[in-house]
Chains A and B, each alone.
Chain A
Amino acid sequence: MGKKKYDYKPVPFRGSGFQFKNNYWISPVVFIIFLILWHVGTTIGFISNLVLPKPAEVLIAFHDLYVTGDLYLHVGASLKRLILGWTLGTFFGIILGFSIGLFSLVRAGLAPIVAAIFPVPKIALLPLFIIWFGIGELSKVNIILFGTLFPTIIAVYGAIDNVDRSLIRMGQSFNLSWFSITRKIVFPASLPAILSNFRITAAIAIILIVAAELIAAEKGIGAYVQMAGSLFAIDRLLAGIIILSCLGLIANWLIGFAEKKLLKWRNL
């Protein structure tokens, strides 16, 4: 055997990618490029004024909303409905979810009903809600309440089903009371899933506010968007949609904040 000559070269690095780095500057840059393209496209007529208004027109729609004070009226009316509906839906959802998660009798009675109602689009119930709750605030709040209630119930009892049984065993082995186990083990263990469900129900609530305000709403972002749509005033339509998505962003941020505070034991 002849002597073999060896090539020495460094082992190539193959572990890049599939990791997110914090590139904070990218999203504003993308946003600004998007705005410029939008402006140029609508100005030179490449994008028809039927398809998109100029960015400046949307800005004017915002300005009008602001100076007339309508912004506060619309956002205020919607926020009231959103907060009330979401809070009540979440409150009852957590209570019912815990009951189903903890008591087999309740589960046997309620889980099938919840599963049956959950997929029904709440918007299809709109006419029924008008008959039950009238055309006032009650039916609007209830649409959001019902829309958030069922996903919450299912998320909560799913979360309880997923609580590590060995931790409950541990609690029992130390003779902890049922109430202590529920409060100190089951509840905190299901909290992450409950909080991440908040993101979903907050989005559902914002989607439903538009439907809720289809009915006899004089004020509200949903009513404003609906009005703009029926008037074919797409500048105002866009302004309303931007406000809705801002509401979504704010809700998301608040939930993120709550997660940071309540789940600081999770290294995130």
Chain B
Amino acid sequence: MIFDKKLNKLCKNLLVSVAVLIGLGTQVFAQDSINVGVLRFTSHSAAFIAYEKGYFKEAGLTAKLVPFQAAAPMAIAIASGDIDYGVTAISGALVNLAEKGAIRIIGGALTEEKGVDGQKILVSNKAYASGVRKASDLKGRSFGLTQTGSSFHYMASQIAKKEGFSSKEISLKPLQKVGVIIGALKSGQIDAWSIVPHIAKALHKSGGAKIIGNVADYIDGYQITTIFTSKNNATNKRALTKNFLAAYSKGIKEFNDVMIDKKRGASAIESTTRLIHKYVYTSRPYKKAAGSIQAGSMRLQPDGRLNLTSVKHQLDWFKAEKLVPASASIKNLVDTSYVKTY
């Protein structure tokens, strides 16, 4: 059972956290060795590059990459201290964990900019045929989510808000997995969805669904993912955390230079794509994976800068939707002392 597995993991992690939080012995880190949680997405490439190119080592860190299947278990693993640093979308779970004093956001990663290819709004062929051509037509339609309180949920309500109707007028369908959402969209069981550009384009091209808009038009400077760590690391291991951010930023810069701004030429793109392919789309041959990796590359925040305005906006939305306690504060969520915020 999907849910059971999660619960199991949760319990296991929680048990570890008991040990840590009760204070049975002080938390022990081997000499500056860290565990970095990653998902096998192109948006986590900065970690792959920093690891493969030895940027962590240069910063005096013995790093280990720990892959996760989903964002939520990674957040819990950081809360429990099994993992030191990670990158994930801002979600209700993240805010709730921060409120409980378990984690802190220390920087930004994936971001949405006007003019740069970003997340797309998709509708099913069935909905398209019945007249859904622009986001304002989504009123009264169904929208696919992974889970309540996920970034998809946030995007759906922001689209509704800007188009002038309540998010209650969209019927939200939590389907747990991206694969299931794609299936439901293709078969017309849900009307709409929003997703990163390369998946959206692939669906559009194959005729599985139609792109009808850009998320960037509805959310200003959307800070999609953030770099985060445990509260303990953020407050008590400042040197370690700074070193990690420095190495990570180096990875970000290289990724942006090579893959987004294409400053270093085709051979650099190829070699970086090969590096990323060690982690992403590993089950596909390089030739097939390369296109998806390159199409799926979106800008990461230089130096791990953080759009605090966007984070605040998201936090307010979580509160308004009663997904997190009304008392949740930005202070508990973000440690602004590490990177530039705006």
- Chain A residues close to B by CB (< 8 Å): 46-51, 121, 123, 127, 130-131, 134-135, 210-211, 214-218, 223, 225-227, 229-233
Q: How far is the CB of B9 from chain A (nearest CB, A)?
A: 11
B175 & A211 in contact (Cβ 8 Å cutoff): no
Q: How far is the CB of B191 from chain A (nearest CB, A)?
A: 12
Question: Does more than half of chain A's interface fall in helix, strand or loop, or is it mixed?
Answer: loop
B21 & A227 in contact (Cβ 8 Å cutoff): no
Distance, CA A210 to CA B79, complexed state (A): 26
**Inside 8 A of A225's CB, which chain B residues have their CB?**
3
* 22 contacting pairs across A/B (C-beta < 8 A): A48-B17, A49-B101, A50-B97, A51-B21, A123-B1, A130-B180, A131-B187, A134-B189, A135-B173, A211-B1, A214-B2, A214-B174, A215-B180, A218-B173, A226-B3, A229-B6, A229-B7, A230-B91, A230-B92, A231-B93, A231-B323, A231-B324
B66 interface residue (CB < 8 Å to A) = no
B3 & A232 in contact (Cβ 8 Å cutoff): no
Between B10, B174, B180, B187, the greatest number of chain A beta carbons within 10 A of the residue's beta carbon is seen for B174
Distance, CA A131 to CA B184, complexed state (A): 8
Identify B22's interface contact among A48, A217, A232, CB under 8 A.
Answer: A48
Known: A130-B183, A211-B1. A230 touches B189 (CB 8 A): no
A226 & B174 in contact (Cβ 8 Å cutoff): yes
B46 interface residue (CB < 8 Å to A) = no
Question: Which residue of chain B lies nearest to A121 when distances are taken between CB atoms in the complex?
Answer: B1
Identify A50's interface contact among B3, B100, B148, CB under 8 A.
Answer: B100
Classify chain B's interface size. Answer: 35 or more
Identify A211's interface contact among B3, B6, B150, B171, CB under 8 A.
Answer: B3
B189 & A135 in contact (Cβ 8 Å cutoff): yes
Known pairs A216-B175, A230-B92 / 14 extra A-B pairs, C-beta < 8 Å: A47-B18, A51-B14, A51-B17, A131-B183, A214-B176, A216-B174, A216-B184, A216-B190, A226-B3, A226-B147, A229-B7, A231-B96, A231-B149, A232-B76
Q: How far is the CB of B90 from chain A (nearest CB, A)?
A: 12
Q: How far is the CB of B71 from chain A (nearest CB, A)?
A: 10
Question: Which residue of chain B lies nearest to A225 when distances are taken between CB atoms in the complex?
Answer: B3
Question: Which residue of chain A lies nearest to B175 when distances are taken between CB atoms in the complex?
Answer: A216
Question: Which residue of chain A lies nearest to B147 when distances are taken between CB atoms in the complex?
Answer: A230
Interface string of B70-106 (1 = CB under 8 A from A): 0010011001100000000001110011001110000
Between A216, A218, A233, the greatest number of chain B beta carbons within 10 A of the residue's beta carbon is seen for A216
Distance, CA A225 to CA B6, complexed state (A): 12
B173 & A46 in contact (Cβ 8 Å cutoff): no
**Inside 8 A of A217's CB, which chain B residues have their CB?**
174
**Which 9 pairs of residues, A with B, have the shortest CB-CB distance?**
A231-B92, A216-B173, A232-B93, A48-B21, A230-B147, A227-B148, A232-B96, A231-B149, A135-B189
A49 & B100 in contact (Cβ 8 Å cutoff): yes
Distance, CA A113 to CA B69, complexed state (A): 35
B63 interface residue (CB < 8 Å to A) = no
**Inside 8 A of A231's CB, which chain B residues have their CB?**
91-93, 96, 148-149, 323-324
B121 interface residue (CB < 8 Å to A) = no
B159 interface residue (CB < 8 Å to A) = no
**Inside 8 A of B171's CB, which chain A residues have their CB?**
218
Distance, CA A134 to CA B189, complexed state (A): 7
B172 interface residue (CB < 8 Å to A) = yes
A232 & B72 in contact (Cβ 8 Å cutoff): yes
**Inside 8 A of B149's CB, which chain A residues have their CB?**
227, 230-231
Distance, CA A130 to CA B181, complexed state (A): 11
